[in-house]
Structure 1
């Protein structure tokens, strides 16, 4: 009766648009810097208030059109920052068929029974 190996903790974050809970690495962090600017945080370690968005273009379009990011970051996006975010979203690779995997259904409480 040996010990079971510990499962590694995987940090979970919620997309500010679709409210889907996913592993932190599957989302993109947008940060409001202490200087007041807004930038994409590739490493997830920049200081400042952060918000997470799925890598799906639809979430990005909705986030910018409906001001989800401004609300989450508690700031107003400048035209320059908004255009930079739109460029970043346009450069995102399309998701593979099947999305991010079967963890989404479990996170939303959806079962395959019906």
Structure 2
């Protein structure tokens, strides 16, 4: 009997378009209340967008207009600064 291979969901970075495993990307979630948060579990309700966890996409490449378009929401300045700091911060979490 053949062994089954585990399904590994693929997602695309909204900044650079690179396709990779869902676990290697950071999910940003537009919550029903209009705020945008980093979703470390990948299971929060709301519209999600994925960005590369490392490299240019997580830092300077993060584009506010692009994220607002993909998430279909407007971000205020405080929310945008918080998202930038959370995404740019190095993390050792491996989900």
TM-score range, shorter chain: 0.7 to 0.9
Where does residue 111 of structure 1 map in the other structure? Answer: none
Give me the TM-score of the superposition, normalised by structure 1: 0.73
Pick from 77, 89, 98 the counterpart of residue 75 of structure 2.
77
Provide the C-alpha distance between the structure 2 equivalents of 1:85 and 1:64, rounded to a whole number of angstroms: 11
Structure (1/2) with the larger helix percentage: 1
SS state of the match for residue 76, structure 1?
A: coil
- Contact in 1 for aligned 2:28/2:39 (Cα 8 Å): yes
TM-score normalized by the length of structure 2 = 0.86
Tell me how far apart the structure 2 counterparts of residues 77 and 57 of structure 1 sit (CA, whole Å). 23
In structure 1, runs of 5+ residues without a counterpart are 94-114
RMSD, aligned α-carbons: 1.4
Q: What is the rounded CA distance, in whole Å, between the counterparts of 1:57 and 1:91 in structure 2?
A: 12
Shift of 1:37: 0.7
User: What is the Cα deviation at residue 90 of structure 1?
Assistant: 2.9
Return 11-20 or 53-62, whichever deviates more: 53-62
Structure with higher Rg: it is: 1
Match in the other structure for 1:28: 26
Q: Distance in 2 between matches of 1:11 and 1:26?
A: 11
Question: Of 57, 60, 64, which aligns to 1:59?
Answer: 57
Q: For residue 8 of structure 2, what is the aligned residue in structure 1?
A: 10
